[in-house]
Structure 1
Amino acid sequence: MVEANRFGQQLFLANLRHARVGQHRGTRRKRTKAPITSPAPTFEAFDHRQLTLFPAFRDLANGAIHGFPAPAEPKMAAFLDQILIEHAREHGWSLTTTKRTRRGLAIALGLQDTPGAPMLATDILNLQSIGITTLRLLEVCAASGLLEDNREPAVDRWFETTVAELPEQLRTELERWYTIMLQGSTTPPRSKPRSEITTRLYLRWSLPALRSWAAAGRTSLREITPEDVREVLPEAGNARARMGQGLRCLFRVLKSHRLIFLNPIDPIRTGTHATRIPLPLASAPLRDAINSADPARAAVTSIVAFHGLRSGQLRKLQLTDLHDGRLRLGQRTIPLAQPVRDRISLWLAYREQRWPSTRNPHVFISRRTALDSAPVGVQWITTSIGMTAQQAREDRILHELHASGGDLRRICDMFGLSIAGASRYSTVLAHPDLLGEG
């Protein structure tokens, strides 16, 4: 060995030459891809969860630097990855969005307290602190059936905060009313669930009276008399009507479920809401919005300004509703004005160029909704127009009413109004500012 190494050794870099076993030089072997015949993975979530000894703080920022643990349940990871790929293909996700979502999914799986159990929505939302977009993660987990939505509804947090300062017995009665309003009642007296907006409004209108009674020493709604109601009711106007409507709903529900013995507001008249008089808009803002260089703003504004669509109708408008220059809206078919057709064509061309792979069937989409099938929000419509859709719609109805000489039947057919709704506009037919700036 010493003699062999007298003059040193020649060093070589490894793996520079690859031997071709069973193949002569100058010949090329034809490569074929083996067909993928493996079945799609399946997975059933565990029906148990590992109990934690004490809540521990996860330093996600440190994990983002030094790395996160790998998913502990490979079958669940493979199943969710397959669902993610199919969901991304179905909704036209870009490669970047798919890659980011897969990375977030791997991190969420590695941080599970109980590998194999459904994903907790709160654990996924915690990843926002390290820049992970969690909306698509929630979509994938929900599509796979492996999402446990343990988030507290925002309306529940609002209710608890709002009634926290009231006496305990009064809070208990309000909690019962709140539950019946949101969930309904399947036992007599039966009732259907009400919306969160309605519940919020009724409680907000009743709060001044409830706080006033609590300050006066009342600890339960059973102690309230008609005299107490009259003391807190405003004298007149919408303030009186709103408080009366809120208290009437509150006492009616509690009495029907025998939580109070007397409805103290029953013999008291509180009036109705005063109808707001619709007035026209200045023409300059509408003209600027219609002629905007933004294709979305010009298209949305032109439809409202020419044909008076509501915000909800704009949001739900689908591509199949547009055909041969006509708009199908429920049982109505609206021939679109030429300026509207031109602006919709520009928007659809921009939509195709900006989001060529989107599977969203709605006419109007945004950067967020282009990756799913949801409609745009009301705020998107308002921001695009520069005003609420209702304001532009009222302006359009007033102009049509003036042009037709007060023909209520005509505006009912054109805008889908009832006779009672149309009569609201006829009261301002002779208003001197009806045409605004003309």
Structure 2
Amino acid sequence: MALNADGWCRLCWRQAASQRTGRRSIGVVEANADGQQLFLANLFRQKRLPPQTPSTETMPNAGRYPVIHRQGVLVDLVRDILAGQQAGFPDPPIPELALLLEQAAAEHAARHGWSKTRRNSATAALRILLALQDTPGAPITTTEIARLTALSANARPLEEILDAVGMLDDDKESTLDAWFARQSRDLPEPMAGELRTWFEILRDGRTTPPRFRPKSTNTIRVRTRALIPVLKSWEADGHRSLRTITRNHVQDALPTSGSRRALTGSALRSLFRVLKARKVVFVNPTVRIRTGKPETRQPLPMSLAVVREALGSPNPARQALAALVAFHAPRSGDIRALRLTDVRDGRMYLPTHTILLADEARNLVGRWLDHRATHWPRTLNPHLFINTFTAVRTVPVSHVWINKTLGVSAQAVREDRILHEAAATFGDPRRLCDLFGLSILAARRYTDTVNGPTLGSATQAPR
């Protein structure tokens, strides 16, 4: 028996080497070259490789989808998804398209660090969607995806996968459009159409003269809520169009004073300015009508017992949030938008200013980063704060999650900290602007309280 330097017989060493390298097994002639030797099989377990899915670049006809035609249906019936689950769904009519979407789901899952269970669930849902299509190969609508919620399928990841390969048809109505339709459904025509014209300009803006910038969703909702009662009162008086509204009608509809008068006047001014620019109405009846400014709420101190409790919490996310809010008081929106690269070198880089982190805040943020890396090591989400739902995506956490995790409103803590700083600096507006990214007008809201009756006796600087 011939042995090598390590004490292996040459035949065993050759056989083991062939298993490790994946080469062909040795033949009879090679086996008898140095004599016979019994070989014990399965001494070396070969690593099982995952099944390889062909790349979309090598798949034939991958560029044919989605198809541009739509097959009409004779009777549009609502499919019973639960019954289909019990009876079993058919196979997709186009296997190559199913393979394409399976590859897209695998790539999306690998990029976002999905678990095997989540990836398989998404793949199964995509196969169901393909099997239920009236037009095989056509884009899949968000309405069809929403039907799978009966099977506890998460619609948002499916939409992201289909959108990445150009197979998504977003046919759902936006929440803002649906909300506006409910608010204005009782108005008569043509008043409802005139209000709809104003709404579309505020939502989308206008790039041709006269130009308008699109407004935020919150601004549109606030102004619409202020307009609807006024328009319904005009309808009750017999007006069916805004063209018949005069200056006297506007003055009678305005509240006497306060923030309600300012808000209603601003909404009416916006409505008639847009309609006059679009030549829907002949005159703007709100011209030269003074409505005043909204009343500002005086900031008040709050109890920080919840924040102190959060600093000692076993939850690293709650600790880090409490440290940032308690020591530096950033806005809730700034916390949501914070990325991993925005906290570095002991500083927090916000859009308006840069903050040198306190030692306690730096330590607790570091603890959260360790926890984040341990629980979601493969996540692609670039934001500093993530949770179970956002770790598999790239979106920020919500305002609700921040307040719920912190145990108190982050905005309330921010106002308390600014108020405390205003009292400590005897109402120095420059200090508030530098530390908290406020404008001069916003800083005066806090500095005015220093000289007021509530805090003046204890905090006013000697002269």
- Scaled by the length of structure 1, the TM-score of the pair is 0.89
Shift of residue 332, structure 1, vs aligned partner: 3.8
Shift of residue 312, structure 1, vs aligned partner: 1.4
Which residue number in structure 1 is paired with residue 392 of structure 2? 371
Q: Take 2:54 and 2:66, find their aligned partners in 1: how far apart are those partners? A: 25
Which amino acid counterpart does residue 344 of structure 1 have in structure 2?
V
Which amino acid counterpart does residue 95 of structure 2 have in structure 1?
P
- Whether 2:244 is the aligned partner of 1:187: answer no
Which residue number in structure 1 is paired with residue 151 of structure 2? 130
Which residue number in structure 2 is paired with residue 45 of structure 1? 66
Which amino acid counterpart does residue 158 of structure 1 have in structure 2?
W
- Whether 2:193 is the aligned partner of 1:211: answer no
Q: Structure 2 unaligned segments of length 5 or more: list them.
A: 1-24, 29-36, 457-463
- Whether 2:347 is the aligned partner of 1:319: answer no
Equivalent positions of 1:73-152 (< 5 A) are 73-152=94-173
Q: Take 1:155 and 1:36, find their aligned partners in 2: how far apart are those partners? A: 41
Show CA shifts across 1:87-123 (max 9, x none): 1111111111111111111111111111111111110
Contact residue 279 and residue 434 of structure 1 kept, 8 A? no
Shift of residue 219, structure 1, vs aligned partner: 0.3
Against the structure 1 CA distance between its residues 158 and 329, is the aligned structure 2 distance closer, same or farther, given a 3 Å change threshold? closer
Shift of residue 286, structure 1, vs aligned partner: 2.3
Give the match's secondary structure for 2:79.
coil
Q: Take 1:332 and 1:231, find their aligned partners in 2: how far apart are those partners? A: 46
Contact residue 359 and residue 370 of structure 1 kept, 8 A? yes
Q: Take 1:179 and 1:253, find their aligned partners in 2: how far apart are those partners? A: 10
* Residue among 294, 305, 308 paired with 1:284: 305
Q: Take 1:168 and 1:331, find their aligned partners in 2: how far apart are those partners? A: 46
Contact residue 280 and residue 433 of structure 1 kept, 8 A? no
Q: Take 2:75 and 2:392, find their aligned partners in 1: how far apart are those partners? A: 39
Which amino acid counterpart does residue 244 of structure 2 have in structure 1?
E
| Higher-RCO chain (CA-CA 8 Å, sequence separation at least 6) | 1
Q: Take 1:334 and 1:192, find their aligned partners in 2: how far apart are those partners? A: 32
Give the match's secondary structure for 2:354.
strand
Give the match's secondary structure for 2:218.
helix
Q: Take 2:283 and 2:344, find their aligned partners in 1: how far apart are those partners? A: 59
Contact residue 40 and residue 82 of structure 1 kept, 8 A? no
Give the match's secondary structure for 1:370.
coil
- Whether 2:383 is the aligned partner of 1:362: answer yes
Q: Structure 1 unaligned segments of length 5 or more: list them.
A: 1-20
Q: Percent same amino acid at aligned positions?
A: 43
Which residue number in structure 2 is paired with residue 10 of structure 1? none
Give the match's secondary structure for 2:190.
helix
Show CA shifts across 1:187-214 (max 9, x none): 3212222222222211111111101011
Q: Take 2:106 and 2:173, find their aligned partners in 1: how far apart are those partners? A: 30
Which amino acid counterpart does residue 118 of structure 2 have in structure 1?
T
| Deviating more after overlay: 35-44 vs 379-388 | 35-44
- Corresponding pairs, count: 415
Which residue number in structure 1 is paired with residue 251 of structure 2? 230
| Deviating more after overlay: 347-356 vs 265-274 | 347-356
> CA RMSD of the aligned region, Å?
2.5
Which amino acid counterpart does residue 363 of structure 2 have in structure 1?
D
Give the match's secondary structure for 2:256.
coil
- Whether 2:218 is the aligned partner of 1:197: answer yes
Q: Take 1:284 and 1:255, find their aligned partners in 2: how far apart are those partners? A: 54
- Scaled by the length of structure 2, the TM-score of the pair is 0.84
Contact residue 280 and residue 434 of structure 1 kept, 8 A? no
Q: Take 2:454 and 2:292, find their aligned partners in 1: how far apart are those partners? A: 30
Which residue number in structure 1 is paired with residue 433 of structure 2? 412
Which amino acid counterpart does residue 321 of structure 1 have in structure 2?
D
Which amino acid counterpart does residue 181 of structure 1 have in structure 2?
L
Give the match's secondary structure for 2:420.
helix
Which amino acid counterpart does residue 265 of structure 2 have in structure 1?
G
* Residue among 260, 265, 269 paired with 2:290: 269
Which residue number in structure 2 is paired with residue 175 of structure 1? 196
Contact residue 181 and residue 194 of structure 1 kept, 8 A? yes
Against the structure 1 CA distance between its residues 117 and 404, is the aligned structure 2 distance closer, same or farther, given a 3 Å change threshold? same
